[in-house]
Every structure is written in structure tokens, then in C-alpha cells.
């Protein structure tokens, strides 16, 4: 039975948290598989806002939640998150894969140093890039190492020495770094999180063998993928559906559904090309209406029109089987609304997302304008949420049907508000 991947089709913050929460009611297992505390996934339930950075949002439903091997996990942030849930009386069963990497202070220091130098890409400063760098350089520390801290001390020493050298040579910073201090931190982590360490890959495969439902929750967005995204303005992991299989440890044939999530418009946090970025004052109007401020860092998000070139590219990369469109309510009152159908580059029209950043940076959007829609009345909302799509304003229906045709995928979910129940299933 099904493994369902839910993935962002833009540059993150598409509303993955909201959609994953909505569809995870029947999940037997919920898994986060890449990234770390850079993610910020929001669920709004009965007026209360819950923000998740590490845990799959299905923790809120009391599901068994897993952090897979492809993740880089910040123990401090994870403990904070568990503490907040405990205060709400929620104690989800948690399994952390022993192969997942631990984000250490040295990683956060390097991320901070790079961003403070003014030359960074505008990261979340959560140590993500350095943690993956150290993983690739084979000097990372994994959760399974918590059982053998003494035996990984030579590796830890190498990581500390590398950090000292980098801070000094690249950033001109002299920082006292002590291996004993880091290993003490690891002993503390072992005492608090050691009990959760297990084999997520095995758990997921066994659950699927039994016919269980497994939800794999993507973080970041496809366009932030380190290979296929807008490199170097990306995160340091693979965010696509294919990567989900590897990061969890399942074969690609085990996945039944890939649901791509996109906003009705586009946002991006941090630096990097953004062809459909809106002009003022519309950008501010949408930012305020959509409350477009980072869930993790509070930074104002850059706002743009829907970019069909980019979203079609993401659908292709992920093999998305259906699409969820969120935040249509945040575009109401804006008339006309624009959709980017192609890019213009050097007098040529490009229909496919360019692989070169040098090209993308010079692309100008080719827009079609569609009629905007008004706010929905309470009555229309109630009817629509019962599944009666036809009660919605004609212009909004046209917009969704237009996107559906353009993207060549069924738009299965349309989100008209932040609350869990404000989701139309088509
Ligand atoms: P994620 O990282 O993809 O999970 O998205 P975030 O949680 O970072 O950002 C999405 C924001 O939009 C959150 O504040 C959600 O509560 C909110 N949101 C999601 N869907 C809708 C919607 O349809 N309408 C409105 N108004 N807000 C939404
Ligand atoms: P969710 O899961 C939006 C962006 C950062 C920066 C780049 C690299 O909530 O969609 P990093 O800290 O990962 O090294 O930063 O990636 N970024 C996100 N943008 N949503 C996210 O997560 C993001 N996670 C990272 O802003 O541009
Ligand atoms: Mg987010």
C-alpha cells in the first residue's frame, strides 16, 4: 500500500505543512527525509499555529514520526520542538535513523560566518550547508555514533580542526574550539535523544510490506535542490522525489503518488534569480495578505507571479502525479492576475526552464493576464469545502482550470485558507 511523497514545486514555503497535515489523517508512518532545521512547516488548527522545523507535521495528529537518514538534525532545535509539543500534551512516537547526521555548533558557526561576511546566499543560518559538506567530506557525526562517542573522537577532532582552519583562513576569525567540549555536547545529546535512534529505512519498508500508509514530507522546494535548482542559490540537499527514495532507503517502485504543492503565486527567501518577482505596490499587497514572512527566520519573502515554466520543470523532475494549489485566497482582490507562460531570452522564447543560471538571470517573463477574483463569502466557502467547486467565483475557477491545463496534472487540492479544514478536494 501507498507511499506518498509530498513535495514543494517552487522555492519553498508552498504550504507543504498544511497539505501534508490535511492528508495524513490515515498515515501509519510520517517521515521527513532531507534538510534540517532550515525548514519551517506550518499547520493552523482551530486558530492555533504550529510550526515544525524537524518533525513531520503529522506529529500533531499523534502519528509515529520518523527522521530519515538524509537529514541533518540539530539536536537543540529538535529538543525544543519536542518540548513545545509536550506542553500541548502531544508525545508522538519518534524514530531517528542512526544514519542521519548531527548538526554541531561548528556547522552553525561556519554558516553564520559565511552569512555575516555578506557573501552568503542568504541561508537560514541553521548550519545546513556545512553539515552536508562535512558529511560529504566523511567527517560528519551520525546518530548511530552516539553509542560510541569515544571511538569517533578522531573524526570529531578532524572536524574541529577543519573548522578552526576555515574560520581563521577564510573569515579571519580566531575562535577557541575544543574537542572535549563537542564530545560533552554529544554525551548530552545521547542521553536525551539516544532512545529514539533506530532504523527508519527498515521501518518504512516493513510498514509498506504490511500495507500501511507512509507519508514522506519534503522540505525546501524543488528549485532549491542542489543539483536541479538555481545553483548556487540553493540548499545543500536533494529535495526531489527521487532523492526521497534514497534519503529514506526505499526503492523507487514503492512510491505510489507524488503530490506537488504550489502557491497560486510564487515566493522565495534569500538571494537568487526570480524571473516573475512582482513590482511594488502589488508585491507588498500580496506579502501582507499572504503573511509572507519566513517561518524559520521571519525574513520578508520575495513575492512573484505564478511561474508555469518553473512549476512545469518541477513537475517533470519529480514525476508529480497531482498538484495542490495553496493560498488562492491571498490573491483575491488583485486584478488582473498574471501567469508566466514562457521566458524571453535574447529575443527568443524559452518554454523550458534553463539549466544555466547565467541564462535564467537574463530571462524576462512572458505573461498572460487573467481576470482576478473577489474574496469568497462565508457561504461560498462552506459550500466549496463540501466539495462543491462550482460555487466559487467564475474567475477563480478559470484560474485553477487554466493552471490545470497548463501543468497537465490534476489539481486535486485547492487551499483557500490556512486552517486544516480550509482545503477543497476536487
Ligand atoms: P511550507 O514550508 O511549505 O510548509 O510553508 P510555510 O508553512 O513555511 O508557509 C506557508 C504559510 O501559508 C503558512 O503560514 C501557512 O499557514 C499558510 N497557508 C498555507 N495554505 C494557505 C492558504 O491556502 N491560505 C492562506 N491564507 N494561508 C495558507
Ligand atoms: P521550507 O521546508 C524557503 C532557502 C534559504 C536560502 C537557501 C539556502 O519551509 O519550504 P539553507 O539554510 O538551506 O542553507 O539556505 O535555501 N531555504 C528555504 N526557503 N523555505 C525553506 O524551507 C527553506 N529552507 C532553505 O532561504 O535561500
Ligand atoms: Mg516553510
Partners of 250 in the beta sheet?
none
Per-residue pLDDT in tens (0 to 9) along the chain, 426 residues: 589 999 999 999 999 999 999 999 999 999 999 999 999 999 999 999 999 999 999 999 999 999 999 999 999 999 999 999 999 999 999 999 999 999 999 999 999 999 999 999 999 999 999 999 999 999 999 999 999 999 999 999 999 999 999 999 999 999 999 999 999 999 999 999 999 999 999 999 999 999 999 999 999 999 999 999 999 999 999 999 999 999 999 999 999 999 999 999 999 999 999 999 999 999 999 999 999 998 888 899 999 999 999 999 999 999 999 999 999 999 999 999 999 999 999 999 999 999 999 999 999 999 999 999 999 999 999 999 998 989 999 999 999 999 999 999 999 999 999 999 999 999
Same domain, 152 and 229: no
Domain CATH for 404:
3.90.170.10
Q: How far apart are CA 71 and CA 98, in angstroms?
A: 11
What residues line ligand 2, using a CB cutoff of 6 Å? 8, 12-13, 38-41, 121-124, 126, 128-129, 219-221, 224, 235-236, 269-270, 295
**Residue 416: its pLDDT value, please?**
97
End residue of a domain, out of 195, 223, 254: 195
Same domain, 292 and 402: yes
Q: How far apart are CA 245 and CA 65, in angstroms?
A: 17
Residue where the block lists cell 574537542? 179
Same domain, 168 and 208: no
Q: How far apart are CA 208 and CA 249, in angstroms?
A: 12
Same domain, 144 and 77: no
End residue of a domain, out of 195, 210, 239: 195
- Asked if residues 353 and 311 have their Cβ atoms less than 8 Å apart, the reply is no
Name the catalytic one among 21, 28, 41, 111.
Answer: 41
What residues line ligand 1, using a CB cutoff of 6 Å? 8, 12-18, 40-42, 44, 291, 295, 326-327, 329-330, 415-418
In a domain, 92, yes or no: no
- Asked if residues 18 and 27 have their Cβ atoms less than 8 Å apart, the reply is no
DSSP-derived letter for residue 160 is H
Same domain, 117 and 105: yes
Same domain, 203 and 260: yes
Q: How far is the CA of 164 from the centre of ligand 1 (A)?
A: 39
**Residue 418: its pLDDT value, please?**
97
In a domain, 95, yes or no: no
Q: Is 329 a catalytic residue?
A: no
Rounded to the nearest 10 degrees, the angle between the axes of helix 153-171 and helix 179-193 is 120
Q: How far is the CA of 277 from the centre of ligand 1 (A)?
A: 19
In a domain, 46, yes or no: yes
Q: How far is the CA of 287 from the centre of ligand 1 (A)?
A: 12
Helix then strand then coil, in percent of the chain rounded to 5, is 40, 20, 40
Same domain, 369 and 396: yes
Q: Is 161 a catalytic residue?
A: no
**Residue 63: its pLDDT value, please?**
97
Q: What residues contact residue 260 under an 8 Å CB cut-off, 6+ apart?
A: 7, 8, 9, 222, 311, 314, 315, 318, 320, 322, 323, 324, 409
In a domain, 94, yes or no: no
In a domain, 141, yes or no: yes
CA torsion through residues 11, 17, 20, 22, sign: negative
What radius of gyration do the chain's Cα atoms show? 22
pTM for this prediction: 0.97
Same domain, 164 and 184: yes
Same domain, 125 and 207: no
End residue of a domain, out of 175, 195, 215: 195
**Residue 1: its pLDDT value, please?**
54
- Asked if residues 96 and 73 have their Cβ atoms less than 8 Å apart, the reply is yes
**Segments forming the whole domain that contains residue 116:** 101-195
**How many domains does one find in the chain?**
2
Q: What residues contact residue 341 under an 8 Å CB cut-off, 6+ apart?
A: 308, 309, 366, 367, 368, 406
Same domain, 50 and 112: no
Q: What are phi and psi of 33, to 5 degrees?
A: -125, -10
**Residue 407: its pLDDT value, please?**
98
HSE-CB at 226 with a 13 A cutoff on CA atoms is: 11
Amino acid at each position: 500500500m501507498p507511499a506518498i511523497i509530498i513535495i514543494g514545486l517552487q522555492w519553498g514555503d508552498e504550504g507543504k505543512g498544511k497539505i501534508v497535515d490535511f492528508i495524513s489523517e490515515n498515515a501509519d508512518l510520517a517521515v521527513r527525509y532531507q534538510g534540517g532545521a532550515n525548514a519551517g512547516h506550518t499547520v493552523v488548527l482551530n486558530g492555533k499555529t504550529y510550526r515544525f522545523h524537524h518533525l513531520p507535521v503529522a506529529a500533531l495528529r499523534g502519528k509515529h514520526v520518523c527522521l530519515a537518514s538524509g537529514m541533518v538534525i540539530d539536536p537543540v532545535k529538535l529538543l525544543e520542538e519536542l518540548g513545545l509539543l509536550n506542553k500541548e500534551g502531544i508525545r508522538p512516537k519518534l524514530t531517528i535513523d542512526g544514519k542521519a547526521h548531527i548538526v554541531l555548533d561548528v556547522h552553525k558557526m561556519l554558516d553564520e560566518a559565511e552569512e555575516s561576511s555578506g557573501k552568503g546566499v542568504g541561508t537560514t543560518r541553521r548550519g545546513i550547508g556545512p553539515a552536508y559538506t562535512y558529511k560529504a567530506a566523511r567527517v560528519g557525526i551520525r546518530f548511530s555514533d552516539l553509542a560510541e562517542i569515544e571511538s569517533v573522537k578522531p573524526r570529531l577532532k578532524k572536524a574541529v580542526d577543519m573548522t578552526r582552519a576555515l574560520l581563521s583562513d577564510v573569515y579571519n576569525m580566531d575562535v577557541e574550539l575544543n574537542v572535549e567540549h563537542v564530545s560533552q555536547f554529544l554525551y548530552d545529546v545521547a542521553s536525551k535523544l539516544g532512545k529514539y535512534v533506530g532504523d527508519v529505512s527498515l521501518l518504512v519498508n516493513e510498514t509498506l510490506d504490511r500495507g500501511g500508509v507512509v507519508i514522506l514530507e519534503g522540505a525546501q522546494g524543488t528549485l532549491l535542490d542542489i543539483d536541479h535548482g538555481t545553483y548556487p542559490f540553493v540548499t545543500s540537499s536533494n529535495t526531489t522525489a527521487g532523492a526521497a527514495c534514497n534519503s529514506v532507503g526505499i526503492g523507487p517502485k514503492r512510491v505510489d503518488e507524488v503530490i506537488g504543492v504550489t502557491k497560486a503565486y510564487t515566493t522565495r527567501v534569500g538571494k537568487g534569480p526570480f524571473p516573475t518577482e512582482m513590482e511594488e505596490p502589488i508585491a507588498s499587497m500580496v506579502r501582507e495578505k499572504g503573511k509572507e514572512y519566513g517561518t524559520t527566520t521571519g525574513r520578508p519573502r520575495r513575492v512573484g507571479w505564478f511561474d508555469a515554466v518553473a512549476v512545469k520543470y518541477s513537475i517533470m523532475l519529480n514525476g508529480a502525479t497531482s498538484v495542490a494549489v495553496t493560498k488562492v485566497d491571498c490573491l483575491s482582490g488583485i486584478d488582473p492576475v498574471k501567469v508566466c507562460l514562457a521566458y524571453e531570452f535574447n529575443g527568443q522564447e524559452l518554454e523550458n526552464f534553463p539549466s544555466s543560471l547565467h541564462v535564467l538571470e537574463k530571462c524576462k517573463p512572458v505573461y498572460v493576464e487573467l481576470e482576478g477574483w473577489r474574496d469568497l463569502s462565508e457561504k461560498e466557502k462552506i459550500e466549496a469545502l463540501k466539495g462543491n467547486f462550482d460555487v466559487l467565483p467564475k474567475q477563480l475557477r478559470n484560474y485553477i482550470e487554466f493552471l490545470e491545463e497548463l501543468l497537465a496534472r490534476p489539481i486535486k487540492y485547492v487551499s483557500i485558507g490556512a486552517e486544516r479544514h480550509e482545503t477543497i478536494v476536487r
